[in-house]
Amino acid sequence: MSFNFLRGPTSGHLDVSRMLWGLSVLAGIGYAGAHLVINHSFSIIEFGTGMGVLLAGGGTATALKDTAVARAVGAGQ
C-alpha cells in the first residue's frame, strides 16, 4: 500500500494535516466500535459534523499552502 497521499505536493515530507485526517477517521471508527462494545450511546453524526468542520478548515489551509508551494516551485524560487 502506498502512503503517498500523506505527503505534500513535492512528496518530500509527510504532511501533518493529512496525517491528522487519517487519525480522525480512525478515531471515529474506534469510538463507534468502543461504544458498541460497552453499550453506550454514541452519535457518529455529531462526531462527524464536528470533525468535518475541523477538517474543512484544515483542508482549506492545506490547499492554500499547496497552491503557494506550487506557485513558488513554478516560479523557480
Residue 27 lies in a domain: yes
Residue 50 lies in a domain: yes
The structure's pTM equals 0.58
Residue for cell digits 457518529? 44
**Beta-bridge partners for 6:** none
Residue 66 lies in a domain: yes
The domain tally of the chain equals: 1
Q: How far is CA 57 from CA 32, 36, 60, 63, in A?
A: 24, 30, 5, 10
pLDDT > 80? residue 4 = no
Residue 2 lies in a domain: no
Within a 10 A sphere around the Cβ of 21, how many other Cβ atoms? Answer: 19
Predicted confidence band of residue 3 (pLDDT cuts 50, 70, 90): low
Give the tens place of pLDDT for each residue, 14-73.
777 777 878 888 888 888 888 888 888 878 888 888 888 888 887 888 788 878 888 888
Q: Identify whether the C-beta of residue 6 lies closer than 8 Å to the C-beta of residue 19.
A: yes
Q: How far is CA 52 from CA 5, 37, 39, in A?
A: 19, 25, 25
